[in-house]
Amino acid sequence: MSNEELIKLIDTWGFTLQTTEEGTEFLTFTVRKEDLHEFCRKLKADPATHFDLLFCVTGMDWGNELGVIYHLASTDLKHEIVVKVMTADRETPELDTVCDIWRTAEFHEMEVFDFFGIRFKGHPNLKRLFLTPDWDGYPLRKDYVDEANMVIK
Amino acid sequence: MGIDEKKRFLDQYQGSGMEYDLPKDFPGKVIPGGNGGNIVVTALDSVINWGRSNSLWPLYFGTSCCAIEMMQTGASKHDFSRFGFEVARPSPRQADLIIIAGTIVNKMAPVLRRLYDQMAEPKYVIAMGACAISGGPFYYNSYSVVKGADHVIPVDVYIPGCPPRPEALLEGLILLQKKIKTEHAKTKVNPIDGFDEGTL
Amino acid sequence: MAEIETENKIKSEEYFVNMGPQHPAAHGVLRLILTIDGETIVNVDPDLGYIHRSIEKMCERDSYQQIVHLTDRMDYLSSHINNEAVCLAVEKGLQLEIPDRVKVIRTILSELTRLASHQLWWGVMGMDVGALTTYFYAFRDREMINDIFEETCGARLTMNYNIPGGLMYDIHPNFVKRVKEFVAHFKTKLPEYDRLLSGNIIFINRTKGVGVLSREDAISFGVSGPVARGSGFASDVRKRHPYSAYDRVSFKEIVMNEGDTLARYKVRILEMWESLSIIEQLIDNIPEGDHLVPTKAVIKLPKGEFYQRVETARGELGVYINSDGNKNPYRVKFRSPGFSNLSALNHVAKGGKIGDLVSIMASFDFVIPDIDR
Amino acid sequence: MMYKIFLPLSITKSIHTWLFDVLPEGVAPYVEMVLIAVAYLLVFAVAGLYLVLLERKVAAWFQLRLGPNRVGPFGLFQTMADALKLVSKEMYGTNRADKFLYNLAPYFPIITALLAMAVLPFSAQFQAFDINIGIFFLLAVSSVGVIGILLGGWASNNKYSLIGAMRSGLQVVSYELSVGLSLLTMVVLTGSLQLSEIIEVQKNGWLIVQGHIPAIIAFVIFMIAGTAETNRAPFDLVEAESELGAGFHTEYSGMKFAYFFLAEFINMFIISAIAVIVFFGGWLSPFGITEEISWFPSVLWFLGKVLIIVFLMMWFRWTFPRLRVDQLLNLEWKYLLPINLFNLVFMAIVVWLGWVITF
């Protein structure tokens, strides 16, 4: 199913989203924070799209807002898209989880929380996976400074 | 961060009196290695040292890529079972040699320290690979790597390389054997006493 | 600590055991907090980060050439394939045209790395299940591949032979002769692997029907590589998105549907045969040409996102580079195969014995720095 | 002095007579017993060390590598160095362990291992105690050894060693059955429990030949159960390297660990010694070829056969993967036990109808 048909089909769902294709090789949708869960559930449930494989979850810090990039693929219909979601609130960033749709998101969202501090509502046990529980600050944010053990070159 | 004077036991450093100078911004404090080696040995000492040096049982401890080269050394081509090292013990109680093969990370440092404390007394440490010596390729820009295993436990032999060849590991093991043969068998200077209390 | 009421009313209690950072079956420093009731496993909760070296943070400060040298410390058993992934991503960003010779040599070396990784996996799987001799047979053959790599790339394990734009230098004159010798030698040794372990009745009892992963769960857990192909999910990147010289090579993608440990074992053994046939098809006709397309000293990728995926020995490694046009990338993310495979471990190991957990972990073939990055 | 050595081993007889006329009546037997005990202890500590070295050399031969050859000529002093290091190692245990039981545990396996030594007939004159319930005593003693492992695993208050100890208790209790039953089948043939009596019966044909088919079945079952008895090879769940780390002796270091380590190898020697005595005619030479030569020490036959069986057990260790706990029990209770019972009845019928091959 080519990108144009995908865009037409997804426009019929009536979400407010921007679709772009330049600067990347995938068809990218930027979704609002509120209807992320609904959008993802429809993407998997709808037999025409049936995105059943979430193969990459990337936490991002675009300077003034934090966000997550989901790379989705459909194993039988052989097409792939990228879903982006952003939140401007940097003190207590909050997104809703997708781990009830794709089971692998459980681990990936723990990783994004560990490095970016984005809390996921509805996640079974959101905890620091890689860093020690008493680690202060979220390392992969752009404004993270740790001169104790980071020798900058 | 003052870097206190670090005495090293290395053959080539013996005569030249070269002082090991660390870069100024070397983070953390380094524990002086070497547990009283290189002294005149009595007859009984030489017998016990012969026993100890010829049966060093390494601990199952490999964190990253250097562990593969350690496994290669254990395999048939560069066989370290000729020296009797192949009895690798999973429990620290029975092992008397830790080969730190790989990077030591901040979260792993207390585990390594506890393993070292659990080992029975005549215990030796080999830092294998650049990561164990000074953090290796992860020295700059990494927030989670301990810059060298001798911040955590005293190290007897350093084997450079990333990863060092199996022959280099064998040479390091033989160097450790030579060092044990010149050691004082009964009274053992434990170089880590006082490190926790900060008096070291 | 949950109280369990066993059928005959004996009050028994679950308790926690640390298959801790230092454990023979952990292949490194993977810590699993097991909740066990007697011998059966109730829950497996991995606690990672014991070898987390913050590679993604370092990539944000390194130039593109420097990133390549970090990737082979991640999954050190398929180090060559990792380097190739980053180089392909950068070449895709710069729209560089790579000569055919580079593509073929890269594919041969990738297949040799996959063989070396599967050999080590086979040796260590035998050791984990209890047969200690397989470890030495596997490493004898792995030494031959190491010699080939040392002669051509200069290093045995973490060889930085790939740079963005091609290969660092051309292959060694007797590279072709050595590879042919190895392929001939290994074709006689691979049936020996089968005789040593595959047919053994105790091994079959230890692995058949143990740790079954259905196809839907495999897809839902985002599992890739031999683990996915063992459960019927054909996820081979070399077939779906061919890169380098994989489009001009004919090889079978081995998919089995049982989804248990024995199926994953068989997938990897048959994959070794496929790798041998790929090498044979390519080794005789390495096209002429130069081994490098010269690039500028300071590589600046245009603004945008680039995603390159590659089939390593453990599964699909994805390199996501988000560049904003200056000399080091804005954000680099490595989609590591081990991390997604690990998310399926709890679902698969639940209800089995401790012995099963060890053979399941051996069949998942984890490399911990690849999980922790 | 040279010709004295070639006399058939009657040295013990000459010491015996010398002791009894020098010392007063009451004291002499005890002094003799102490002398025998010290002699056995020395011989078998050294034999244990060289069994460890044999195991490492055989393992190296199986695994395409050289094995220890740098310490002393051809590596012969390697296990001597290991023993010296273990002796001079610090006795380092956890303070959470139950002090008394933790220290008591290592002595059980080593004592029972050496206890079983006393009954083995190495040659006609070279047997310490020829008690008339020989095999029964051996079985009883070899099942006491597991108490040490259970005690050690539980007392060291460590989760892995607890699991290892429970597995060892489970394993030895169930495989004790098969060892006993397979020996019972052979006793049906010999008619007596006394070890020297059993060897007498085998003067006209080894038991494995006399009892033909049921004896071979009994031998196979005995070897399987014997390997499980010593926690080795396919059944080494007790200190399964990849599952439990160091199993029950995780918290033991230095000489306490050496007792467990040595006891395992001496147990292996005992199991193969029992197999040789019951199935392959102890110190008898095949077809009586060296019976007439008076000066030939028949101990060599005994030791030769024992080393062949020990090599067989080492062969198991380096080729077979490890069984899981439930498979271990299935094998014993569902397969070995029924076969054993059937084999016992079959042997009884064979003996009753007299189909015994005797030369």
Residue D249 pLDDT grade (very low, low, confident, very high; cuts 50, 70, 90): confident
Per-residue pLDDT tens over the stretch B92-117:
888 889 999 999 998 999 999 989 98
CA of B6: how far to CAs of A114, B29, B31, in Å?
A: 37, 10, 8
* D and A adjacent (3 or more CB pairs under 8 angstroms): no
State the best of D52, D244, D253 to mutate against chain B, taking most chain B CBs within 10 Å.
D253
Nearest C-alpha in C relative to A130: C49
Residue C285, pLDDT score:
87
Q: Nearest CA to CA, how far is B139 from chain A (Å)?
A: 7
Task: Measure CB to CB from residue C131 to each of D64, D244, D320 and give the nearest one.
Answer: D320
Residues D60/D63/D65/D68 CA torsion (nearest 10 deg): -20
Nearest to A140 by CA among A132, A131, A149: A131
Give the gap in angstroms from C-alpha C369 to the nearest C-alpha of chain B. Answer: 7
pLDDT tens, position by position, D323-335: 988 899 999 999 9
Partners of C356 on chain D (C-beta within 8 Å) are 324
Best of C202, C205, C208 to mutate (most D CBs within 10 Å, chain D): C202
Q: Which pLDDT belongs to residue C185?
A: 94
Q: What is the pLDDT of residue D227?
A: 92
Residue C9 has a pLDDT of: 66
Q: Tell me which chain B residues have a C-beta less than 8 angstroms from the C-beta of D93.
A: 93
How far does the CA of residue D297 sit from the closest CA of chain C (Å)? 38
List, for residues B128-173, the tens digit of each pLDDT value.
999 999 888 888 888 888 888 888 888 889 999 989 999 999 999 9
Contacts of D102 (CB under 8 A, 6+ apart): D93, D152, D155, D156, D251
Best B55, B121, B180 member to test D by mutation, with max D CBs in 10 Å, is B55
Partner residue facing B141 (CB), from A130, A148, A153:
A153
Residue B23 has pLDDT above 90, yes or no: no
Name the residue with tokens 């590591």.
Answer: C336
The whole-angstrom distance between C82's CA and the closest CA on chain D is: 29
Q: Is C322 on the interface with B (CB under 8 A)?
A: no
Please tell me if residue B143 touches chain A, with a CB cutoff of 8 Å. yes
- Say whether pLDDT at B186 is over 80: no
Question: Which 3 state secondary structure label does DSSP give A89?
Answer: coil
- What is the least distance, in Å, from the CA of A102 to any CA of chain C? 5
Mutate to test the interface with C, among D167, D324, D329, D334 (most CBs of C within 10 A): D324
User: What is the pTM for the complete model shown?
Assistant: 0.90
Q: Which long-range contacts (CB under 8 A, 24 or more apart) does D101-105 make?
A: D101/D151, D101/D154, D101/D155, D102/D152, D102/D155, D102/D156, D102/D251, D103/D256, D104/D151, D105/D148, D105/D149, D105/D151, D105/D152, D105/D155
For residue B10, the model assigns a pLDDT of: 35
Test A129 with C224 for CB contact under 8 angstroms: no
User: Which residues on chain B are in Cβ contact (under 8 Å) with A151?
Assistant: 25, 27, 139-141, 147
Structural domain including A39 reads 3-149
Residue D279 pLDDT > 50, yes or no?
yes
**pLDDT tens by residue, A103-140:** 899 999 999 999 999 999 989 888 888 988 888 888 88
Which helix (H) or strand (E) segment is B43 a member of?
helix B43-54
With a pLDDT cut of 70, the percent of chain A lying above it is 98
Those residues with Cβ within 8 angstroms of residue C107's Cβ, 6 or more apart along the chain or in another chain = C244, C245, C246, C249, C278, C282
Contact across the interface for C22 and B141, Cβ inside 8 Å: no
Which chains touch D (3+ CB pairs under 8 A)?
B, C
Residues of B in contact with A131 (CB under 8 A): 107, 144
Q: How crowded is residue D163: how many other Cβ atoms within 10 Å of its Cβ? A: 24
Confidence check: pLDDT of B4 > 50: no
Residue C161 resides in a domain: yes
Tell me: pLDDT of B33 over 70: no
Instruction: Count contacts between C and D (CB, < 8 Å).
Output: 81
**Partner chains of A (3+ C-beta pairs under 8 Å):** B, C
Domain count, chain C: 1
The pLDDT assigned to D4 comes to: 40
Contacts 24+ apart (CB under 8 A), C138-144: C138/C193, C139/B71, C139/B72, C139/B75, C139/B76, C139/B77, C140/B75, C140/B76, C140/B77, C140/D64, C141/C185, C141/C186, C141/C189, C142/B72, C142/B75, C142/C116, C143/B72, C143/B75, C143/B77, C144/C181, C144/C182, C144/C185, C144/C186
What distance in Å separates residue D168's CA from the closest CA in chain B?
A: 18
B120/D245 touch (CB, cutoff 8 Å), yes or no: no
Work out the end-to-end distance of chain C between its first and last CA atoms, rounded to an integer number of angstroms: 33
pLDDT tens-place string over residues D124-136: 777 878 888 889 9
Mean pLDDT, residues D37-63 taken together: 90
Among the residue ranges C187-196, C308-317, D31-40, the one predicted with the least confidence is D31-40
Average pLDDT over residues C99-117: 93
Q: Has residue D359 got a pLDDT over 80?
A: no
Q: Does C123 touch chain D (CB under 8 A)?
A: no
- Domain for residue C44, yes or no? no
Q: Report the pLDDT value the prediction gives residue D290, as an integer from 0 to 100.
A: 76
Domain boundaries, chain D: 90-353
Of the given ranges (B17-26, C46-55, C75-84, D43-52), which has the lowest mean pLDDT? B17-26
pLDDT of amino acid D288: 73
Question: What is the predicted pLDDT for the residue at C8?
Answer: 65
On whether the CB atoms of residues C73 and C247 are closer than 8 A, the answer is no
pLDDT confidence band for B39 (50 / 70 / 90): low
pLDDT of residue D142: 86
Average pLDDT over residues C260-281: 94
D357 or D316, greater pLDDT = D316
CATH code of the domain in which C234 resides: 1.10.645.10
**Does pLDDT of D6 surpass 90?**
no
The number of C-beta contacts closer than 8 angstroms across A and B is 31
- Residue D2 pLDDT > 80: no
Q: Which of B106, B107, B142, B144 to mutate against chain A (most A CBs within 10 Å)?
A: B144
Cβ-Cβ contacts under 8 Å, C157 against chain B = 65, 68-69, 163
When CB atoms are compared, the residue of C57, C222, C304 closest to A53 is C222
Domains: count for chain A: 1
Biggest CA-to-CA distance, chain B: 52
Least confident of A35-39, D117-121, D287-291: D287-291
**How far away is chain B from the Cα of D88, in angstroms, using its nearest Cα?**
7
Which distant-in-sequence residues (6+ apart) come within 8 Å of D34 by Cβ? none
- Please indicate whether residue D2 or residue D295 has the higher confidence score (pLDDT): D295
Mean pLDDT of B51-76: 90
The 10s digit of each residue's pLDDT in C323-342 is 988 888 999 999 999 999 99
Residue C231: what pLDDT? 93
Q: Kindly state whether C132 is in contact with chain D, defined as any CB-CB distance less than 8 angstroms.
A: yes
Q: Please state which of the ranges A52-56, B6-10, C121-125, C276-280 shows the lowest mean pLDDT.
A: B6-10
Q: What is the mean pLDDT of residues D272-300?
A: 83
CATH of the domain at A126: 3.30.460.80
Amino acid at C371: I
Distance between B180 CA and the closest CA of chain D, angstroms? 12
Task: Answer yes or no: are the C-beta atoms of A69 and A57 closer than 8 Å.
Answer: yes
Q: Do D67 and B82 make contact, defined as CB atoms within 8 angstroms?
A: yes
**Which residue of chain C has the CA closest to D325?**
C355
Range of the domain at C331: 55-371
Other Cβ atoms within 10 Å of C314 Cβ, number? 27
Any chain D CB within 8 A of the CB of C203? yes
- Residues 72-131 in D contacting B (C-alpha not used; CB under 8 Å): 75, 77-78, 80-85, 87-93
Q: Residue B78 contacts by C-beta under 8 Å, 6 or more apart in sequence?
A: B72, B166, B167, B170
Distance from CA of D272 to the nearest CA of B (A): 24
CB atoms within 10 A of CB D359: 10
**What confidence tens digit (pLDDT) does each residue in D296-307 have?**
778 888 999 999
For D252, the closest of B51, B93, B122 (CB atoms) is B93
pLDDT at position B130, please? 92
pLDDT at D224 over 90: yes
Closest approach of chain B CAs to the CA of A139, in angstroms? 8
Q: State the nearest Cα–Cα gap between D30 and chain B, in angstroms.
A: 36
What distance in Å separates the CA atoms of residue C101 and residue C290, rounded to the nearest whole number? 7
Q: What is the pLDDT of residue C3?
A: 64
Q: If DSSP codes are grouped into helix, strand and coil, which group holds residue D95?
A: coil
Nearest by CB to residue C53, choosing from B72, B142, B162, is: B142
Q: Which of residues 103-132 of A touch B (CB under 8 A)?
A: 130-132
**Interface touch B121/D92, C-beta < 8 Å:** yes
Q: State the pLDDT at residue C112.
A: 94
- Judge whether residue B19 has pLDDT over 60: no
> How many Cβ atoms are within 10 Å of A153's Cβ, its own excluded?
7
**A130 vs B contacts (CB less than 8 Å):** 107
Determine the pLDDT at residue D179: 93
For A49-94, how does the pLDDT look when each residue is reduced to its tens digit (9 = 90+)? Answer: 889 999 999 999 988 889 999 999 998 888 899 999 999 888 889 9
Q: Are the C-beta atoms of B73 and B39 separated by less than 8 Å? A: no
Alpha helices in chain D (DSSP H): 2-6, 11-22, 27-62, 78-87, 99-104, 107-117, 134-155, 159-190, 195-201, 207-210, 212-229, 241-244, 255-279, 299-319, 325-330, 337-353
Return the residue of A nearest to B145 by Cα. A149
Q: What is the mean pLDDT of residues D165-174?
A: 90
Please report which confidence band the pLDDT of residue D89 belongs to, taking 50, 70 and 90 as the band edges: confident
